[in-house]
Amino acid sequence: ITPSGKDGWEVHFAAWQRKEAGEDIIMLSVGDHDFHTPAETVEAGVAALRAGHHHYTQLPGIPALREAMARISTRCTGVETSAEQIIATPGGQASLYAAVQGVLDPGDHAIVVAPYYATYPGTFRAAGADFTVVETRATDGFQPDAKTIEAAVRPNTRAMLINTPNNPTGAVYSRKSLEGIADVCRRHDLWLLSDEVYWTLGGGEHLSPRALPGMAERTLVINSMSKSHGMTGWRLGWLTGPEELVALLISLNLVTTYGLTDFVSRAAIEALNNDYGVDQIAALYARRRKLFLNAVHGMNDVTVRGSEGGMYAMLDISAVEPDDEKFAWAFLENENVGVMPGSSFGDAAAGHIRISLCQPEPVLLEAAERLRRFVSAYRR
Ligand code: PMP
């Protein structure tokens, strides 16, 4: 599933294996929290298990869960949202799958803005849909350009997929970028699939394209409890969209998941209604990002691109070594730090490394120090 067909993931797997074998490796290649789910959520899950919530649930999610999700969607997208506009799924990935299955038929075409999350191509292929990757430019901070996107529209184009705050670049799409995208969607009658799973980690007020004029009826927003609520392993996400489409997608849950895990749904209602962990997690990543980027700023030949939100930082290391895979392997060999080569996420991020901020602050500082030492000693 690597978008570029490159094997940058091998660096990550090698780092992982060496860490498992007991070596002192700093893993900056993993996109999962280094902390557990907030204790209140865990307690709500345990209480739900003890209370006998062990049964099948309604297909689109139990009503209280859809209502709780609708309240968060109203906050996330700035558009008043009802429970009927929500479908709960086991993880944001399943919502992405539902969205793509829902709006694309085999032979239809979609546009994907790159760099993008690794599962996107496979999700389109599973629907038999064709897609064109439209690159952003690192020198624009990975902001999408409407003209470049529009040039990729074909007669059979039905949808566009974007992700803000972005994995892997950490770019937070500006109002101007989103207005450009919305304009293309309206004029060419496209669905906009908007992956906003990092919406609480954008560092400021979140801007959803669903709020732009004429967009609520053509936008499907993907949300997840994984990042915002620290619940990656619980598998819970949701899709927000027009009621008529959501009603159709409920039959997809019938044939895929047959509803959600009962006690997980009950814990999620508590977590959503009480915002368990949300502010703390957002503040934690904001602090980590600032700390790490401060340590990197002023480093010779290393330039920060994007890196405004989400759980990642993107560093341009092309002045040190244009081959980002070679850089990542050498960094692992010499300094025991695992990072993702940018080219694993498509051409726009070539010459970059992606740094995951899922490590405690002292570890991030140590990694920055190792990077400084590595870069100053590096000889091509
Ligand atoms: N979208 C993006 C951009 C992601 O980074 C991820 C997870 N890393 C997902 C969707 C899926 O998340 P989940 O299935 O855990 O909700």
Give the DSSP letter string of 18-66.
HHHTT---EE-S--S-SSPPPHHHHHHHHHHHHTT--S---TT--HHHH
Structural domains in the chain plus CATH codes: 9-37+278-374 (3.90.1150.10), 39-274 (3.40.640.10)
Determine if the peptide bond prior to 106 is cis (ω within 30°).
no
Determine if the peptide bond prior to 168 is cis (ω within 30°).
yes
For ligand 1, pick from 87, 162, 167 the residue to mutate: most ligand atoms within 8 Å of CB. Answer: 167
**Count of beta carbons in the 10 Å neighbourhood of residue 107:** 9
Distance CA 21, CA 303 (A): 33
Distance CA 248, CA 300 (A): 54
Looking only at Cα atoms, what is the longest distance across the chain? 63
Q: How many CA atoms lie within 13 Å of 295's alpha carbon, on the beta-carbon side?
A: 19
Question: Which residue, by CA, sits nearest to atom 8 of ligand 1?
Answer: 31
∠ CA 77-80-83, nearest 5°, is 100
Among 241, 284, 236, residue whose Cα is nearest residue 257:
236
| Amino acid 4: pLDDT | 46
ipTM of the complex: 0.99
List pLDDT tens digits, range 256-273: 999 999 999 999 999 999
Among 352, 348, 349, residue whose Cα is nearest residue 339:
352
Contacts of 53 (CB under 8 A, 6+ apart): 262, 263, 265, 266
What lines the ligand 1 site, CB under 6 Å? 31, 91-93, 117, 163, 167, 195, 197, 224, 226, 232, 237
For ligand 1, pick from 93, 113, 234 the residue to mutate: most ligand atoms within 8 Å of CB. Answer: 93
Determine if the peptide bond prior to 165 is cis (ω within 30°).
yes
- Contact of 288 with 361, CB cutoff 8 Å: yes
232 Cα nearest atom in ligand 1 = 15
pLDDT in tens, the chain (380 residues): 444 445 678 999 999 999 999 999 999 998 899 999 999 999 999 999 999 999 999 999 999 999 999 999 999 999 999 999 999 999 999 999 999 999 999 999 999 999 999 899 999 999 999 999 999 999 999 999 999 999 999 999 999 999 999 999 999 999 999 999 999 999 999 999 999 999 999 989 999 999 999 999 999 999 999 999 999 999 999 999 999 999 999 999 889 999 999 999 999 999 999 999 999 999 999 999 999 999 999 899 999 999 999 999 999 999 999 999 999 999 999 999 999 999 988 889 999 999 999 999 999 999 999 999 999 999 77
End-to-end Cα separation, the chain, in angstroms: 30
Buried b (16+ CB within 10 A) or exposed e, 322-344: ebbbebbbbbbeebbbbbbbbbb
Distance 243 CA to ligand 1 centre (A): 24
- Contact of 59 with 259, CB cutoff 8 Å: yes
- Tokens 């799958």 sit on residue: 97
Packed helices 324-335 and 361-377: angle between N→C axes, nearest 10 degrees: 110
Question: Which residue, by CA, sits nearest to atom 12 of ligand 1?
Answer: 92
Q: What is the pTM of this model?
A: 0.96
List pLDDT tens digits, range 262-308: 999 999 999 999 999 999 999 999 999 999 999 999 899 999 999 99
The DSSP-derived string for 118-184 is: TTHHHHHHHTT-EEEEEE--GGGTT---HHHHHTT--TTEEEEEEESS-TTT-----HHHHHHHHHH
